[in-house]
């Protein structure tokens, strides 16, 4: 027998609102019928009718990621924390489990799991590594359970990122999963725009409509930012003290590649990853990115999750000195409340109007199950319950926090962030390329070499990258 748990469609959660006009309204029978039909349409999670008698579910992770699990023990009044508390309580009551975490240095996650597996120690139920550190080693070392064989988990449900599972698959196996279960851990590159500039520069186009109509492209963004740069301090040169049409991150060129619909890798007939960057499209992406980076209307800087708070990048953004800003709102959502001007959120632009949909780079939030898990059904049941209740409780709360600034609490913003979340795109070439040669190609050519000669650079690194992938596959097969 199974317990069936259901929630209303996310659309109902995000779009419901009250009538505040004070005008008396008459019920529309057709609308009532539609509402009743929608109410009857429910998403369900099938969880075994089991109880684990106080079993402690233990995460293995790297410093400082433990906070992303939100092992909240009491209500605080902070929406996201309270949502996490209620999620954890719901899963605990449902399955009779508690939660704990083992935190080690980022570089020691793989070796810690390796030692545990070798010793027959099944303490760890899940492993949450850094996006790239140790990710290949745990797969080639045979340390992880094939999640395609994990009981209970249903990757077709919207609380899982099914495309990520497929993107990181090797042959007919996969070893990492991701989704709403780690909502606040996943990166989500986006474009913030300062609404004041729409007025100041007489921009009449509705940027949200550009997205809806498939016209929010890289060229459109370049045209809108043109001429916005301004030498505010009058020193005759553009410095960090001035105004810009675009504030870009030096370290996230891979976001542009993915956003333009160009994969780093694809899978061959055997389901193994192959390098996919040697295309005419990639050459054009390099040219477009070069034009943006070297525009007098652009300021390029760098930040990380631990350096953003004291960065020049942050100063330019919150002081309203950039029209467009590329920002990882998945990792830096809490800082959005610092912004006092009206701003909007857009997905990364498409390559051109023929690209079918926006693709939002995402590389973090990988979840693995140790190969020596004592009870695969328990691992699957807890994961499915956590993901489902995260979808029901954490996702709406996270959206509310991201959009907490009153200027973006509107239907357009909810629509855009929902679109971005549902189009998060992973790529084997990011998570499994330990050298960074694959995903950093755009940065190396344009920023480091100050060039558009992609062909020469590609030729110089192709053999090394392919050899790395070949070795990965050989090591993987040796442990099967």
Question: Is 295 within a domain?
Answer: yes
SS (H, E, C) the chain: CEEEEEEECHHHHHHCCCCCCCCCCCCCHHHHHHHHHHHHCEEEEEEECCCCCCEEEEEEEECCHHHHHCCCCCCCCCHHHHHHHHHHHHHHHHHCEEEEEEEECHHHHHHHHHHHHHCCCCCCCEEECCCCCCHHHHHHCCCECCHHHCCCCCCCCCCECHHHHHHCCECCECCCECEHHHCCCCCCEEEEEECHHHHHCCCCCCHHHHHHCCCCEHHHHHHHHCCCCECCCCCCCCCCCCEEEEEEECCCHHHHHHHCCCCCEEECCCCCEEECCCCHHHHHHHHHHHHHHCCCCEEEECCCCCCHHHCHHHHHHHCCCEEEEEEEHHHHHHHHHHCCCCEEEECCCECCCCCCCCCEECCCCCEECECCCCCHHHHHHHHHHHHHHHHHHHHHHHHHHHCCCHHHCCHHHHHHHHHHHHCEECCHHHHCCCCCCCCCHHHHHHHHCCCCCHHHHHHHHHHHHHHHHHHHHHHHHHCC
Tally of domains in the chain: 1
- Ramachandran class of 96: left when φ > 0, alpha when ψ lies in -120 to 50, beta otherwise: left
Predicted pLDDT of residue 422: 87
Bridge partners (DSSP) listed for residue 160 = 179
Whether 102 and 61 have beta carbons less than 8 Å apart is answered as yes
CA dihedral 122, 128, 133, 134 (to 10 degrees): 20
| Chain centre to alpha carbon of residue 329 | 9
Predicted pLDDT of residue 189: 87
Question: Is 45 within a domain?
Answer: no
Question: Is 391 within a domain?
Answer: no
> What is the pLDDT tens value at each position of the chain, 480 positions in all?
444 433 333 333 333 333 333 333 334 444 444 444 444 457 888 999 999 999 999 999 987 776 666 677 889 888 888 999 999 999 999 999 999 999 999 999 999 999 999 999 999 999 999 889 999 999 999 999 999 999 999 999 999 998 888 899 999 999 999 989 887 666 788 999 999 999 999 999 999 999 999 999 999 999 999 999 999 999 999 999 999 999 999 988 999 999 999 999 999 999 999 999 999 999 999 999 999 999 999 999 988 777 888 899 999 999 999 999 999 887 777 788 888 898 999 999 999 999 999 999 988 889 999 999 999 999 999 999 999 999 999 888 887 776 665 445 567 888 898 899 889 999 999 999 978 999 999 999 999 999 999 999 999 999 999 999 999 999 999 988
Question: Is 59 within a domain?
Answer: no
Predicted pLDDT of residue 41: 56
What is the pTM for the complete model shown?
0.86
Kindly report whether the peptide bond that precedes residue 64 is cis, defined as omega within 30 degrees of 0. Answer: yes
Question: Is 194 within a domain?
Answer: yes
Q: Which phi and psi (to 5°) does residue 403 adopt?
A: -100, 25
Domain membership of residue 234 as a residue range? 189-360+425-460
Question: Is 200 within a domain?
Answer: yes
Question: Is 255 within a domain?
Answer: yes
CATH number assigned to the domain comprising residue 268: 3.40.190.10
Question: Is 475 within a domain?
Answer: no
Predicted pLDDT of residue 112: 98
């Amino acid at each position: 027998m199974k317990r069936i748990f259901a929630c209303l469609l996310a659309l109902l959660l995000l779009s419901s609102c009250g009538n505040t006009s004070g005008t008396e309204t008459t019920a529309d029978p057709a609308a009532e019928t539609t509402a009743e039909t929608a109410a009857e349409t429910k998403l369900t999670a099938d969880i075994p009718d089991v109880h684990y008698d106080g079993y402690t579910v233990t995460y293995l992770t790297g410093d400082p990621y433990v906070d992303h699990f939100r092992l909240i023990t009491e209500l605080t009044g902070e929406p996201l924390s309270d949502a996490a508390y209620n999620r954890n309580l719901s899963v605990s009551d449902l399955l009779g489990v508690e939660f704990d975490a083992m935190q080690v240095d980022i570089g020691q996650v793989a070796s810690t799991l390796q030692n545990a597996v070798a010793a027959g120690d099944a303490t760890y139920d899940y492993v949450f590594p850094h996006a790239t550190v140790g990710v290949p080693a745990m797969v080639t070392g045979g340390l992880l359970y094939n999640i395609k064989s994990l009981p209970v988990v249903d990757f077709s449900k919207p609380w899982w990122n099914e495309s990520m599972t497929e993107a990181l698959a090797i042959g007919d196996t996969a070893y990492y999963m991701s989704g709403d279960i780690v909502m606040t851990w996943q990166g989500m590159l986006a474009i913030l725009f300062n609404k004041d500039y729409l007025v100041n520069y007489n921009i009449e186009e509705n940027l949200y409509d550009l997205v809806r109509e498939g016209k929010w492209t890289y060229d459109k963004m370049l045209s809108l930012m043109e001429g916005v740069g301004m030498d505010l301090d009058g020193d005759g040169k553009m410095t960090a003290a001035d105004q810009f049409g675009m504030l870009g991150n030096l370290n996230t060129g891979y976001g542009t590649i993915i956003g333009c619909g160009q994969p780093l890798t694809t899978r061959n007939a055997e389901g193994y990853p192959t390098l996919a960057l040697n295309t005419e499209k990639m050459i054009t992406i390099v040219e477009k990115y070069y034009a943006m980076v070297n525009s007098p209307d652009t300021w390029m800087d760098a930040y990380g999750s631990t350096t953003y708070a004291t960065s020049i990048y942050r100063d330019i953004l919150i002081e309203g000195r950039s029209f467009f800003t590329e920002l990882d709102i998945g990792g830096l959502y809490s800082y959005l409340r610092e912004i006092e001007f009206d701003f909007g959120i857009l997905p990364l632009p498409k390559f051109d109007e023929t690209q079918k949909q926006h693709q939002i780079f995402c590389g973090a939030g990988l979840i693995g199950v140790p190969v020596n898990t004592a009870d695969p059904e328990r691992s699957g049941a807890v994961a499915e319950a956590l993901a489902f209740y995260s979808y029901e409780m954490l996702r709406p709360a996270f959206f509310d926090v991201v959009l907490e600034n009153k200027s973006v609490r509107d239907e357009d913003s909810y629509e855009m962030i929902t679109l971005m979340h549902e189009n998060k795109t992973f790529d084997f070439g990011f998570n499994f390329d330990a050298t960074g040669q694959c995903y950093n190609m755009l940065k190396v050519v344009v920023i480091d070499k100050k060039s558009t000669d992609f062909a020469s650079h590609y030729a110089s690194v192709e053999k090394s990258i392919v050899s790395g992938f070949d070795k990965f596959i050989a090591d993987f097969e040796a442990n099967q």
